Amino acid sequence: AIKVQDKVMIPQDDYPTINFIGLLIGPRGNTLKRIEKESNSKIMIRGKGSTKEGKAQLYPNSGEDEALHALITGSTADGVKIAVNKIHEIIQCGIDSPEGQNDLKRMQLRELAQLNGTLREED
């Protein structure tokens, strides 16, 4: 099977205060899983800072020497393109909206509360 690959750079160094990895992965990995499902692709966060401190030795090919990026692999160019666009959207969303005004983040926190069974419906 032919594999199509693409890379989306994550501008972590330009925006050190934004948790792009958190935004992309989402609560329990759900945001990433959702994009993978919609695009029928596999997404891996690679590069500098993609592995927790000290874990880098366990994952020798985590691309620690490269800049932070999302690696998308799929069987069709269309699927990979869908994933690339979604990832760009999330990154842009993180840059455009400061922490408090980020709708994506708000939805993720809500989803996490639902998963944890601690969601309180606002009345």
**Domain residue extents for the chain:** 4-111
Architecture of the domain whose range is 4-111? 2-Layer Sandwich (3.30)
pLDDT digits (tens, 9 = 90+) for 14-48: 999 899 999 999 989 999 999 999 999 999 999 98
Separation of alpha carbons 61 and 59, rounded Å: 6
DSSP of 70-119: EEEEESSHHHHHHHHHHHHHHHHHHHHS-GGG-HHHHHHHHHHHHHHT--
pLDDT digits (tens, 9 = 90+) for 40-86: 999 999 998 887 655 555 555 556 678 999 999 999 999 999 999 99
